[in-house]
Amino acid sequence: MTNVSSPLPGSPFTPRHVRILKISVAILTVLLLAGIVALVFGVVRQAKKLTASPAPPAQVTGQSPYSRSLDLGQGRLEGVLASGDFLIFYWKGEGSDTVLTINPRNGYEVGRIQVPRR
C-alpha cells in the first residue's frame, strides 16, 4: 500500500493532491461548458427578440409618425444631437430657445424645454 503522505517519485505532490487537482479541473470544466451553453442560449434569445419585434404604432394606424408638424414659431434649427434612443433638437426662436426631445422609433415628442433669453 502506498503511503499517502509521501510524494510521488520526481514530484512534490502526494497522491491526495493529484486527486484533488483532478476533481477541481473536472468541476471547472463543467462550469466552463455550462457558461458557454448559457451564453449561446442568451444570444439566440436576443436574436429572436430582434427578429420578432412588434410593428410601431404608426404602421398600425396607417399614418406616418413623421407627418406631424411641431408648432415652434419663427426661428431656425441650431443643432441636432442623437443621444441613446432619442433625437434632441435645439430650436432658436424669436422669443425663447426650445430644446425638443423626439423618439425616432415612433416620431412622438418626448419632452420640450423652453429656455427664455436674457
Domain spans of the chain, in order of start: 1-53, 65-116
Q: What is the pLDDT of residues 31-73, one digit of tens each?
A: 999 999 999 999 999 888 877 655 555 445 555 555 666 777 7
Task: For cell 463543467, name the residue.
Answer: 30
Confirm whether pTM is higher than 0.85: no
Are 93 and 72 in contact by the 8 Å Cβ rule? The answer is yes
Give the DSSP letter string of 50-72.
HHTPPPPHHHHHSS-GGG-----
Q: What is the pLDDT of residues 99-109, one digit of tens each?
A: 999 888 877 88
